Amino acid sequence: MYTLSNKLRLFSIILIVVGAVGLVAGFLQAPHTIDDVKEIMAAHDAHGGGHGETTAADSHAAPAHGETSTATHGEEDAHGGDAHYEHILHQLQNKPWAALYVAAFFFFMISLGVLAFYAIQFAAQSGWSPVLFRVMEAITAYLVPGGIIMFVILGLSGFHINHLFVWADPEVVAHDKLIQGKSGWLNGTMLLVRAAIFLGGWIAYRYFAVKFSRKQDEANDNAWYRKSFKISAAFLVFFIYTESMMSWDWIMSFDPHWFSTLFGWYVFAGLFVSGITTIALITIYLKSRGYLEFVNDSHIHDLAKFMFGISIFWTYLWFSQFMLIWYSNIPEEVTYFITRIEDYNITFFGMLVMNFVFPLLLLINSDFKRINWLVIAGGIVILCGHYVDVFTMVMPATVGESWFIGLSEISAVLLFLGLFIFVVFTALTKAPLLAKRNPYIEESKHFHY
Amino acid sequence: MASKVIHALYTDDDVLMDAVKATRKKHYHIEEVFTPFPVHGLDKAMGLPHTRLAITSFMYGCVGITVAITMMNYIMIQDWPQDIGGKPSFSFIENLPSFVPIMFELTVFFAAHLMVITFYMRSRLWPFKEAENPDVRTTDDHFLMEIDASHHQEEELIDFLTNTGAVEIKIIDKH
């Protein structure tokens, strides 16, 4: 049995408190009026300078606003008229909300990715992985609190308490034919109904799969294992549809005019590789603390192979989406990438380095996949890279060019990291670390590559 | 110089693996093992050095991507500048996305084909080559271990191999 050390508990609680305080400060810091924005911008210009040119050049992202900005350029000041300040005000007011959203979704998607990975192990009747089942079950425990938090945030956004979803703003919809056409799908009630179905299904699978796995520990035959197999197979079918719709609802709808048919797969690849990486990190951590003595180098090697392989898979999907849109160059499609390349250049290309180039070069070597500290280093970069990926998916439509990684972003990550660590490691204490009666447990213990 | 070898046949890969380990422990020299299918971990048990094929594959991949870049840069940009997807920039870097699939394909193509050819050359295999297989049953359901017998007592070696579970033991004079 694993016992949660006081140090780790304290560490996670400190993270939660620091993160919560920082996030509240982030909300309080957000400007309330146009005058606040003017002050911020003036302070910014005093040392930065030359911001006026950038805003004018940025006008392609929001054509209507761009025109006013350039038209009034000479008369008012470097920033155009009040309309422009109001625009920035909305972006800055969105910023802490968006930071909260990105971090909440990022940690939620880790546990969802692990849940899918766990189900695949059962459906494939894999023999190498049962020694890792308890680690996976513990990580999926975050699905419940993480899912509830996502649901609350989605409710606040879908009913326009905050301004994250532009389609939730009745005034915008009134002037937008495209969103009007989609409003049967994109409205607050429907969003929450669907979210409830997705979350309900995933959490239900998680509940029963873990229950069956615990009962199998005490069983004399494989009846519970066979049940696990059946619900896992059924869950995977349910999951791939709901995950796809979840990615439209929760991520793609930030840009309601834009769509991509492989977006669900793209988000899936990101959450899958983040989940597998987290399994590897937590496994290595537990081993370093003297637990999981039955996990050997070959298990770590296999996880690292998955980290490598799914990173390549993620890149493949990223590129498939990017190249077609870049090549065809249709205005309503390509604006998605133009915004990101011009306003989010560093995160857009930086995440490619972190999610593709770095894992490719580090983990291509077979021996490196067995060196724990290299796997940890690679894993941390992959996780940061996928946070930046979610960031780059959400931010351009919510805070636009007013983004920066500041107090609210860092605090939101700390808050959810603390919660994640607390929930996952508390869940680890609830059951023995070895699923001892799994029919493949002996094979898994002797797994050798 | 005539050299003597012993052929010990087994019918099970697990028995074979144990026999290989025991033989190595006794410091007998295993010349070669013939199996109907790849036996997991046999190379390690025989003490064979790790294959360097993976390194050659990486180098071939690097050659492939270089060939792809050089070729497309010459064909599409320098020799006959092309307007790619309505973007007449005539620059390699600005048209990079459309070149990536070819770069990927040629990397894989070079790595895979040259690696297979390297493997054939290294294993001394070429078309119409006579099989070196000493016993046709090793292509069906038998495993054969060939041990150098020149420097050991034959009876002692045969006794030892019988104990490891060999179903058949033959002494062969190689010339």
Q: What's the pLDDT score for residue B8?
A: 92
Q: Would the pLDDT of A72 be above 80?
A: no
Contacts A448 to B, Cβ<8 Å: 41
Predicted confidence band at A402 (pLDDT cuts at 50, 70, 90)? confident
Q: Which segment of A248-252, A302-306, A372-376, B132-136 scores lowest on mean pLDDT?
A: B132-136
Q: What's the pLDDT score for residue B97?
A: 92
Q: Would the pLDDT of A225 be above 90?
A: yes
Q: Quote the tokens at residue B113.
A: 């084909």
Write A357-366 long-range contacts (CB < 8 A, 24+). A358/A382, A358/A385, A359/A307, A359/A308, A359/A311, A360/A308, A360/A311, A360/A312, A363/A304, A363/A305, A363/A307, A363/A308, A363/A311, A364/A308, A364/B58, A366/A301, A366/B54
What is the C-alpha to C-alpha distance for residues A194 and A175, in angstroms, rounded to an integer?
26
Residue, of B134 and A319, whose pLDDT is higher: A319
- Interface residues of A toward B, Cβ cutoff 8 Å, are 319, 322-323, 326-329, 364, 366, 448
Q: What is the DSSP letter of B129?
A: P
Contacts B58 to A, Cβ<8 Å: 364
If you average pLDDT over every residue of chain A, what do you get?
A: 89
Chains A and B: how many Cβ contacts under 8 Å?
19
Residue type, A372: N
- The residue among A389, A380, A301 whose CA lies nearest residue A349 is A389
What is the C-alpha to C-alpha distance for residues B161 and B20, in angstroms, rounded to an integer?
10
Longest dimension (CA), chain B: 82
What is the C-alpha to C-alpha distance for residues A337 and A348, in angstroms, rounded to an integer?
9
Phi, psi of A142 (to 5 degrees): -70, -15
Is any Cβ of chain A less than 8 angstroms from the Cβ of B74?
Answer: no
What is the C-alpha to C-alpha distance for residues B155 and B146, in angstroms, rounded to an integer?
16
Q: Quote the tokens at residue A130.
A: 């049962």
Element at B59 (helix H, strand E) = helix B53-72
Q: What's the pLDDT score for residue A75?
A: 42
Distance from CA of A323 to the nearest CA of B (A): 6
Q: What's the pLDDT score for residue A58?
A: 42
Residue type, A385: G
Asked if B85 and A323 come within 8 Å (Cβ–Cβ), the reply is: no
Closest residue in chain B to residue A327, using alpha carbons only:
B85
CA torsion sign for B137, B142, B147, B152 is negative
Q: What is the pLDDT of residues A7-65, one digit of tens each?
A: 999 999 999 999 999 999 999 988 888 887 877 777 766 654 444 444 444 444 444 44
Q: Which segment of A415-429, B62-76, B85-99 scores lowest on mean pLDDT?
A: B85-99
Residue, of A395 and B150, whose pLDDT is higher: A395
Q: Would the pLDDT of B3 be above 50?
A: yes
Predicted confidence band at B131 (pLDDT cuts at 50, 70, 90)? confident
CA B80 to chain centre: 43
- Asked if A212 contacts A118 with a C-beta cutoff of 8 angstroms, the reply is no
- The residue among A100, A92, A106, A99 whose CA lies nearest residue A33 is A92
What is the C-alpha to C-alpha distance for residues B47 and B40, in angstroms, rounded to an integer?
13
Q: Quote the tokens at residue A33.
A: 């009026």
Q: What is the pLDDT of residues A116-175, one digit of tens each?
A: 999 999 999 999 999 999 999 999 999 999 999 999 999 999 999 888 999 999 999 999
What is the C-alpha to C-alpha distance for residues A164 and B87, in angstroms, rounded to an integer?
35
Phi, psi of B4 (to 5 degrees): -105, 135
Q: What's the pLDDT score for residue A61?
A: 42
Report angle CA B76, B79, B83 to the nearest 5 degrees: 40
Predicted confidence band at B2 (pLDDT cuts at 50, 70, 90)? low
Element at B145 (helix H, strand E) = strand B143-148
What is the C-alpha to C-alpha distance for residues B16 and B142, in angstroms, rounded to an integer?
10
Name the one residue in this structure whose structure tokens are 């890969």: B13
Write A39-48 long-range contacts (CB < 8 A, 24+). A40/A92, A41/A79, A41/A85, A41/A88, A45/A78
Q: Cα dihedral angle (B14, B17, B22, B28), rounded to 10 degrees?
A: 140
Q: Report strand pairing: B168-174 vs B143-148.
A: unpaired
Instruction: Give the list of residues 6+ apart from residue B49 with CB closer than 8 angstroms, or none.
Output: none
Q: Measure CB to CB from residue B85 to each of A329, A364, A448 and give the nearest one.
A: A329
Reduced to 3 DSSP states, what percent helix, strand and coil does chain A have, rounded to the nearest 5?
A: 80, 0, 20
Asked if A322 and B97 come within 8 Å (Cβ–Cβ), the reply is: yes
Distance from CA of B155 to the nearest CA of A (A): 36
Q: Would the pLDDT of A413 be above 50?
A: yes
Predicted confidence band at B40 (pLDDT cuts at 50, 70, 90)? confident
Q: What is the DSSP letter of B109?
A: H
Name the one residue in this structure whose structure tokens are 């429907």: A190
Contacts A326 to B, Cβ<8 Å: 85, 97
Closest residue in chain B to residue A312, using alpha carbons only:
B104
Q: What is the ipTM of this complex?
A: 0.78
Is any Cβ of chain A less than 8 angstroms from the Cβ of B54?
Answer: yes
- The residue among A103, A110, A55 whose CA lies nearest residue A83 is A55
CA B70 to chain centre: 31
CA torsion sign for A106, A109, A113, A115 is positive
Q: What's the pLDDT score for residue A229?
A: 96
Q: What's the pLDDT score for residue B116?
A: 94
Residue, of A74 and B62, whose pLDDT is higher: B62
Radius of gyration of chain B (CA): 26
Q: Quote the tokens at residue A121.
A: 């192990």
Q: Measure CB to CB from residue A323 to each of B54, B87, B97 and give the nearest one.
A: B97
What is the C-alpha to C-alpha distance for residues A394 and B155, in angstroms, rounded to an integer?
78
What is the C-alpha to C-alpha distance for residues B28 and A3, in angstroms, rounded to an integer?
51
Among the ranges A273-287, A398-412, B38-52, which has the highest mean pLDDT value? A273-287
Q: What's the pLDDT score for residue B1?
A: 45
Q: What's the pLDDT score for residue A71?
A: 39
Q: What's the pLDDT score for residue A245?
A: 96
Q: What's the pLDDT score for residue A68?
A: 40
Average pLDDT over residues A198-207: 97
Asked if B58 and A329 come within 8 Å (Cβ–Cβ), the reply is: no
Edge-to-edge strands, sheet with B168-174: B30-34, B143-148, B3-10, B168-174
CA A380 to chain centre: 14
Reduced to 3 DSSP states, what percent helix, strand and coil does chain B have, rounded to the nearest 5?
A: 50, 15, 35
What is the C-alpha to C-alpha distance for residues B87 and A193, in angstroms, rounded to an integer?
45
Distances (CA, A) of B156 to A28, B8, B17: 88, 14, 21
Q: Quote the tokens at residue A286.
A: 């537990």
Contacts A128 to B, Cβ<8 Å: none
Asked if B58 and A364 come within 8 Å (Cβ–Cβ), the reply is: yes
- Burial (0-12, 13-18, 19+ Cβ within 10 Å), B56: middle
Q: Measure CB to CB from residue B86 to each of A323, A329, A364 and give the nearest one.
A: A329
Distance from CA of A328 to the nearest CA of B (A): 7
Q: Measure CB to CB from residue A323 to each of B54, B58, B100 and give the nearest one.
A: B100
Percent of chain A with pLDDT over 90: 77
Give the count of beta carbons closer than 10 Å to the beta carbon of residue A269.
Answer: 24
Q: What is the pLDDT of residues A299-345, one digit of tens each?
A: 999 999 999 999 999 999 999 999 999 999 999 899 999 999 999 99
